[in-house]
Amino acid sequence: MLTTIAIIPARMASSRFPGKPLKPIVGMPMVGHVYKRTKMSGVDAVYVATYDQAIKDYVESIGGQAVLLQEKFERPTECTAAALQEIERATGETIKNILMIQGDEPVIFPETVNDLAAAVSQRASGVVNIVNNIRDRQIFLDKNIVKAVLDQQGRIIWFFRLPSLFWQERIDELTSVKIQTGIIGFKREALLSYAMLKSTDFEKVNSVDMFRFVEHGIPVSALLSPQRLYSVDTPKDLELVSEIMSNDPLFQKYNQHDNRG
Residue 261 lies in a domain: no
Mapped to the 3 state alphabet, what secondary structure does the chain carry?
CCCEEEEEEECCCCCCCCCHHHCEECCEEHHHHHHHHHHCCCCCEEEEEECCHHHHHHHHHCCCEEEECCCCCCCHHHHHHHHHHHHHHHHCCCCCEEEEECCCCCCCCHHHHHHHHHHHHHCCCCEEEEEECCCCHHHHCCCCCCEEEECCCCEEEEEECCCCHHHHCCHHHCCCEEEEEEEEEEEHHHHHHHCCCCCCHHHHHHCCCCHHHHHCCCCCEEEECCCCCCCCCCHHHHHHHHHHHHCCHHHHHHHHHHHHC
Confidence class for position 167, pLDDT limits 50, 70, 90: confident
Residue 16 lies in a domain: yes
Whether residue 165 is predicted with pLDDT greater than 90 in this model: the reply is no
Percent of the chain having pLDDT more than 70? 98
Residue 120 lies in a domain: yes
pLDDT at 137: 84
Residue 238 lies in a domain: yes
Range in 136-140, 208-212, 218-222 with the lowest mean pLDDT:
136-140
Mean pLDDT of 188-199: 96
Confidence class for position 260, pLDDT limits 50, 70, 90: very low
pLDDT at 15: 73
Whether residue 96 is predicted with pLDDT greater than 50 in this model: the reply is yes
Whether residue 261 is predicted with pLDDT greater than 50 in this model: the reply is no
Q: How many domains does the chain have?
A: 1
Confidence class for position 16, pLDDT limits 50, 70, 90: confident
pLDDT at 48: 98
Domain of residue 201, CATH code? 3.90.550.10
pLDDT at 83: 98
Residue 243 lies in a domain: yes
pLDDT tens for 75-84 read 999 999 999 9
Residue 259 lies in a domain: no
pLDDT at 258: 60
Range in 18-22, 37-41, 136-140 with the lowest mean pLDDT:
136-140
Percent of the chain having pLDDT more than 90? 83
77: containing domain: 4-254
Residue 260 lies in a domain: no
pLDDT tens for 61-71 read 999 999 999 98
